[in-house]
């Protein structure tokens, strides 16, 4: 059963600016994770009855700032001001008590509870008899909250029966029940159809007309200019500009989001290219990517970029066997191979450094030595028994080669810096001598010095004849390192570009959903 709501007009202009005082202000917010600065002196002002779009590339700091406002992670410094008075947000409960609610891109319903129970979750009305839950009151209040949105949903349905769009509606109704004054929406239309997105825009206008401030994070330009009153751009954790949505166009917004020149000192130098090392034809997996084809040769760096949800990580994970494809063909050195697991991929000469270093790349409590040799223990064995002197020799050689800064090889890997942890993951992938190396976001979460070392390593691998597939959200990175660049959008290859003849603006224009 769909949502019942008046479809908003495509030509409807943004809500006129209000003259009221700010509901919420974030002032000079700083936030760092380890040595990585996620937010640097960022300020944001939210006004009642306005939709405020927050824009920026992946990693610009948008979600971190919103998590600070939603009480999910405390700022290191700065202040949050509500109605002119500083407040402390130590938890999401604190934020909700002040009328601040965040609807995440990944919705978090309780699937086996009903629509009504989810809407009233955490504030169930009690009956007068023994303090038991008043189920009739739950139904009544849930119906009233959905009615404020002009929506009709079956209150007794379990949440697992609903579409994503309907689940979002329930989240918004829940926020209304908390007397929402600031609603934060992170990529709310990422998995919605056009019709469902239209219904969502109608709900946002209802909230706006009730005087709430709506923060809208999206990569979809058309949505910004349809519903936003104000636009703020973040870049590299810093505030770039805030302006009325009507005073900036698509190209101007892209330019402010990118705004960085490629460092000429780090520009790639041509390397001789050999035979095709990896060939992918028509690779598909339902809901992730469709009919993707590409080749990468010996000595070549193939860059793959795109926005969050474009299918980049899913694609390379299929090539490495982490989540195999449903259809398509993979050839290594001209021979068709079947890859159903990482073991298959490594046996065929493919190595990978995964995007989630801690989740898939490391065993945090194990030592540096054991993490380094984990995938190549057979080379450290005498028959069925591990030869510890041989393992130690392999480990010490890798530590020297990759300049891993560690007290000694017995140190737990989770005690290293992010950059040195990444070196351990890369070194382990290379110990098996792969012909093809997939690097998925290899510089995410590491400091500038470590990033420069990883860039140097990528160039060195290409010079040595390795075929490198580099997945990165950082446009300067792929433009300076890649010989060819694939831009993905909605699970498809939207463009193949020559990095030496393109710009960050052109790449981003191909990556943006149409």
**What does the pLDDT look like over 227-238, one tens digit per residue?**
999 999 998 889
Do 194 and 269 share a domain, yes or no? no
Closest CA to 511 of 246, 313, 311: 311
* pTM to 2 decimal places: 0.58
Q: Which two tokens stand for residue 457?
A: 């390593």
Do 215 and 75 share a domain, yes or no? yes
CATH number for the domain spanning 438: value is 3.40.50.300
Averages of pLDDT over each 10 residues, the chain, 514 residues: 33 41 94 82 96 84 90 93 94 90 79 90 77 85 84 88 82 81 84 72 87 89 90 92 92 79 46 89 94 96 89 94 94 95 93 81 85 80 82 86 83 79 87 92 70 86 94 89 95 94 90 80
Instruction: Using the 3D structure, point to which of 258, 279, 302 is the last residue of a domain.
Output: 258
Task: Report the pLDDT value the prediction gives residue 4, as an integer from 0 to 100.
Answer: 34
Task: Report the pLDDT value the prediction gives residue 57, as an integer from 0 to 100.
Answer: 74
Is 87 within a domain? yes
Do 228 and 310 share a domain, yes or no? no
Is 3 within a domain? no
Do 246 and 306 share a domain, yes or no? no
Do 203 and 333 share a domain, yes or no? no
Do 376 and 457 share a domain, yes or no? yes
Is 190 within a domain? yes
Task: Report the pLDDT value the prediction gives residue 276, as an integer from 0 to 100.
Answer: 95
Structural contact between residues 251 and 73, judged by C-beta atoms closer than 8 angstroms: no
Task: Report the pLDDT value the prediction gives residue 270, as an integer from 0 to 100.
Answer: 65
For 485, counting Cβ atoms within 10 Å of its Cβ (0-12 exposed, 13-18 middle, 19+ buried), the class is buried
- Give the count of domains, the chain: 2
Do 335 and 358 share a domain, yes or no? yes
Do 314 and 244 share a domain, yes or no? no
For 378, counting Cβ atoms within 10 Å of its Cβ (0-12 exposed, 13-18 middle, 19+ buried), the class is exposed
Task: Report the pLDDT value the prediction gives residue 446, as an integer from 0 to 100.
Answer: 67
Is 275 within a domain? yes
Q: Which two tokens stand for residue 354?
A: 């995964």
Q: Which two tokens stand for residue 418?
A: 């992010």
Do 288 and 214 share a domain, yes or no? no
Is 69 within a domain? yes
Beta strands in 56-148 (DSSP E): 77-82, 85-87, 100-103
Is 114 within a domain? no
**What is the dihedral angle through the alpha carbons of 293, 297, 299, 301, rounded to the nearest 10 degrees?**
-10
Instruction: Using the 3D structure, point to which of 258, 283, 308 is the last residue of a domain.
Output: 258
Do 295 and 330 share a domain, yes or no? yes
Do 167 and 195 share a domain, yes or no? yes
Is 420 within a domain? yes
Closest CA to 328 of 320, 319, 346: 319
Q: Alpha carbon 7 to chain centroid distance?
A: 30
Structural contact between residues 317 and 340, judged by C-beta atoms closer than 8 angstroms: no
Task: Report the pLDDT value the prediction gives residue 296, as an integer from 0 to 100.
Answer: 96
Do 250 and 335 share a domain, yes or no? no
Which domain covers residue 373, as residue numbers?
264-511
Instruction: Using the 3D structure, point to which of 198, 229, 258 is the last residue of a domain.
Output: 258
Is 411 within a domain? yes
3 state SS for 324-388: CCCEEEEEECCEEECCCCHHHHHHCCEEEECCCHHHHHCCCCCEHHHHHHHHHHHHHEECCEECH
């Amino acid at each position: 059963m769909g949502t019942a709501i008046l479809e908003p007009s495509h030509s409807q202009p943004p809500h006129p600016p209000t003259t009221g005082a700010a509901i919420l202000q974030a002032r000079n917010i700083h936030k760092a994770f380890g040595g990585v600065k996620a937010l640097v002196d960022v300020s944001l002002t939210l006004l009642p009855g306005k939709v405020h779009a927050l824009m920026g590339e992946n990693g610009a700091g948008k979600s971190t700032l919103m998590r600070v406002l939603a009480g999910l992670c405390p700022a290191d410094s700065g202040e949050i001001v509500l109605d002119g008075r500083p407040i402390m947000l130590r938890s999401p409960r604190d934020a909700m008590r002040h009328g601040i609610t965040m609807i995440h891109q990944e919705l978090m319903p309780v699937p086996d509870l009903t629509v009504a129970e989810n809407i009233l979750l955490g504030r169930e009305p009690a009956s007068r008899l023994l303090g038991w839950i008043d189920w009739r009151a739950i139904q009544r209040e849930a119906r009233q909250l959905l009615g404020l949105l002009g929506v009709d949903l079956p209150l007794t349905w379990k949440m697992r029966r609903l579409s994503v769009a309907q689940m979002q509606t329930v989240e918004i109704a829940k926020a209304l029940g908390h007397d929402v004054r600031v609603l934060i929406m992170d990529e709310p239309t990422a998995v919605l159809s056009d019709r469902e997105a239209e219904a969502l825009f109608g709900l946002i206008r209802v909230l706006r007309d009730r005087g709430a401030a709506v923060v809208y994070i999206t990569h979809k330009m058309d949505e910004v200019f349809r519903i936003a009153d104000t636009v703020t751009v973040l870049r590299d954790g810093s505030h770039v500009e805030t302006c009325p949505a009507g005073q900036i166009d698509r190209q101007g917004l892209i330019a402010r989001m990118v705004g960085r020149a490629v460092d000429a000192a780090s520009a790639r130098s041509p390397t001789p290219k050999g035979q095709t090392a990896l060939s992918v034809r028509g690779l598909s997996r339902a809901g992730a990517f469709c009919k993707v084809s590409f080749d990468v040769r010996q000595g070549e760096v193939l860059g793959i970029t795109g926005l969050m949800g474009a299918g980049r990580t899913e694609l390379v994970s299929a090539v490495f066997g982490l989540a195999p494809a449903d259809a398509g063909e993979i050839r290594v050195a001209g021979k068709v191979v079947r890859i159903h697991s990482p073991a298959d991929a490594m046996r065929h000469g493919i190595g990978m450094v995964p995007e989630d270093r801690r989740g898939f790349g490391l065993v945090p409590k194990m030592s540096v030595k054991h993490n380094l040799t984990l995938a190549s223990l057979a080379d450290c064995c005498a028959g069925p028994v591990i030869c510890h002197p041989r393992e130690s020799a392999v480990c010490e050689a890798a530590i020297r080669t990759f300049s891993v800064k560690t007290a000694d090889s017995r140190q737990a890997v989770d005690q290293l810096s992010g950059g040195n942890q990444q070196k351990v993951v890369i070194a382990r992938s290379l110990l098996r001598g792969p012909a093809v190396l997939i690097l998925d976001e290899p510089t995410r979460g590491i400091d500038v010095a470590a990033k420069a070392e990883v860039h140097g390593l990528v160039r060195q691998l290409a010079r040595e004849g390795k075929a490198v597939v580099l997945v990165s959200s950082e446009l300067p990175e792929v433009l300076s390192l890649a010989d060819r660049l694939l831009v993905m959008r909605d699970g498809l290859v939207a463009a193949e570009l020559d990095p030496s003849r393109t710009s960050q603006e052109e790449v981003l224009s191909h990556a943006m959903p149409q």
